[in-house]
Structure 1
Amino acid sequence: MSTSIVDSTPLFELNARIRIEASPEEVYSVVSDLPRSGEWSPECQGGEWIGPPAQVGSVFRGENLRADDVVGWAPLVRGTWHTEARVVAAEPGRTFRWMMLSHAQEDQESVWGFDTEPADGGACTLVHHFRMGKATAGIHKIVADLDEEARKRFIEEWTAKLAGDLDATLARIKRVVEAG
């Protein structure tokens, strides 16, 4: 039995960074306000907290939108769909991370987050990261009917898409935070 690329661990592990002319605490107050994510995310249009906001254990229900041309050949969810995530780290001025939940409300090895690091002159460096250990049920569904070459192509193109999304998100957060 051969191993597929989707059996790799981690399947995805990316990060990007940007300098922002604001304190780590100011930046944290923005990035931990997930309902505002529509202001900076290429896919998440915002959403709402289910219960108390922005603390470990809090659940966020996000509304997402994906265009038809995003890895257009792959059988991805298009248009609007919803996700839920649970906050797994919330340290004001330092780190904010959330884990995606399956439709059965189970943890998935799919974690997004932000870390802030103090920088010279009262500024900070914001690091945005994403790690998927084992492939989620969603990834398995996407690649189920693809041969191994198409699976490799999908992982390659999805990695590039994720890298672009991390960079775009950081640039938009920088504009939001620095505009006050």
Structure 2
Amino acid sequence: MSSTETFRVDATTVVQADPATVFAYVSDLTRSGEWSPECRGGEWTSGDPAAVGSVFTARNHREPEVVAWAPVVRGEWTTHCEVVEAVPPGVFSWAMRDSGGRAQESVWSFTVAPTAEGSALTHAFWMGELTEGMRGILAGMNDDEVKKFLVDWADKIQGDMRQTLARIKSRLESAS
């Protein structure tokens, strides 16, 4: 990992479910369409589900109004993610892969900690060195536009995380 940090965003909620139940749900990326504002689900394409080194191919969709001024992918697309940490029932992390199949410094994670009410669930995103896709987005921007994009994109990610956590909380608490 590099010493560069482009983004670090996280959000936390308390879920009235035990850590093992929460971990099992969030580490099943095939169910991400149930909670994510952008990911519509997908499938494990190599390795054992949720195991370190396994690859998940995600189907995604982004609406036109999302950071509308920036040249980001819109509509439907797929991404490939590699599980980089899986420590039940505490941590599950995956990194976005580049076009050559290498894990990039673009890591999403869920951490689960026991609480008196059930579990504290934190959803986080970290980007170190710019990803292949991010370099393409920023390529034609001046310094002020880059700064504005990074702020707007961090706000977008933060909002998505809050929605994700609310949906996970609702699903798990209504199931119990």
Same fold (TM over 0.5): yes
CA distance in 1, matches of 2:152, 2:90: 31
Which ranges of 4 or more aligned residues in structure 1 deviate by more than 4 Å? none
1:78-157 equivalence runs, <5 A = 78-121=74-117, 123-157=118-152
Distance, in Å, in 1 between the alignment partners of 2:35 and 2:67 is 21
Instruction: Report the identity percentage.
Output: 46
Aligned equivalents of 1:141, 1:166: Cα separation in 2: 24
- Runs of at least 5 residues in structure 2 that lack an aligned partner in the other structure: none
Aligned to 2:43: 48
Query: How far 1:176 moved relative to its partner?
Result: 1.0
- State the Cα deviation string for residues 49-103 of structure 1 (Å, max 9, x = none): 0132111111000000000000001011100000001101111111100011001
**Aligned partner letter, 1:70:** V
Aligned residues: 172
- Root mean square deviation of aligned Cα: 1.0
Q: Partner letter of residue 148 of structure 1?
A: D
Q: Does 1:33 align with 2:28?
A: yes
TM-score calculated relative to the size of structure 1: 0.93
Aligned twin of 2:14:
19
Q: Tell me how far 1:157 sits from its aligned partner.
A: 0.3
Letter in 2 for 1:76: V
| 3-state SS of 2:133 partner | helix
Structure 1 portions without partners, runs of 5+: 1-7
